[in-house]
Amino acid sequence: MTGIFVDQGAVDALGSDDREPSSGGPWRLFVRNRAAVFGLFLLIGILVMTFIVPIWYVKDPGDLVARPHLRPGAEGAPLLGTDNLGRDILAIIVYGGRTTLRVAAGAAVLIVFVGVTIGSLAGYYGGRVDAALMRFTEFFQVLPGLLFAIVVVALFEPSFWVITFAIGTIAWPGIARLTRAEFLRLKNLEFVKAARAIGATDFRIITRVILPNAMPTLIVSTTLIMGSAILFEAGLAFLGLADVNSASWGLAIGRGREFFTINWWAVTFPGLAIFFTVLGLSLVGDGLQDALNPRLRGR
């Protein structure tokens, strides 16, 4: 679903962004983009909330701290109220972020590793290798993503590794196709020929010569993929496919939905946490896109 925003990078012109973004240029372009800076602040806010706030907001999100269904601002209620059992919703949001972000980060690592490996091999070697790898990719592309993840997690167990693996398995084809396109674009350029002429091995050409030049596009796409991964994790948790012993945003919404008519805050605030995280990632991704591939601005 993120593919449509980034595939254009593959057909981008060759000149300006062939080098690593080491000059001050991309960063200046990025900070001049107000939306992207806003997104960056959102992300920093989420990270602070998840990793710094717990240092002084020491709670167990599973504890029953007050009466159930206390609205935010009610007497004796925590800042964001309590859920149907009397758990502190702020604590659930603060500590639940870890679960979600860990899964998203883990899945992103897996997605990038598998996607880049398959995409670069297919793009670099072409021919039969390409055909075989692309058939394989196509197979994973037709699998209905969320449904496949649901089946895997339901068949095994809703642990961190299974959930991360399930999300990683379904989301890599986009990165693979993108990497392949970048490799097809770059592999016949002068500097690659030069590297081959001085006797560099295929492995070296792939990892040291071509890949760094494909990085701008891949970084943008990875940012957006993390947003999708968070939505996948939240969806699974909403359906109850999460580790029930650790708090999670999606799980909180799933648990609160039954009582939504009398307790809107137990559903609304965790949802806002998901929303702002994914929004932040999208804005930063778009900002990076504009900064690293300036020719596509405004598209």
154 binds other proteins (CB under 8 A): yes
Q: Which stretch binds other proteins (CB under 8 A): 93-101, 183-191, 205-213, 257-265?
A: 257-265
How near is the Cβ of 56 to other proteins at its closest, in Å?
A: 29
Site for other proteins in 264-283 (CB under 8 A): 264, 267-268, 271, 274-276, 278-279, 282-283
Q: Which stretch binds other proteins (CB under 8 A): 17-25, 96-104, 203-211, 250-258?
A: 250-258
The Cα–Cα gap between 146 and 128 comes to 31
286 binds other proteins (CB under 8 A): yes
The Cα–Cα gap between 228 and 5 comes to 13
Q: Which stretch binds other proteins (CB under 8 A): 43-51, 62-70, 188-196, 235-243?
A: 235-243
* Residue closer to other proteins, measured from CB, 100 or 213: 100
* Residue closer to other proteins, measured from CB, 81 or 227: 227
**Token couple for 28:** 């200046």
How near is the Cβ of 271 to other proteins at its closest, in Å?
A: 4
298 binds other proteins (CB under 8 A): yes
Site for other proteins in 170-229 (CB under 8 A): 227
**Which residues of the shown chain bind other proteins in the complex (CB under 8 A)?**
1, 4-5, 35, 138-139, 141-148, 150-152, 154-157, 227, 231, 234-235, 238-241, 250, 253, 257, 260-261, 264, 267-268, 271, 274-276, 278-279, 282-283, 286, 298-299
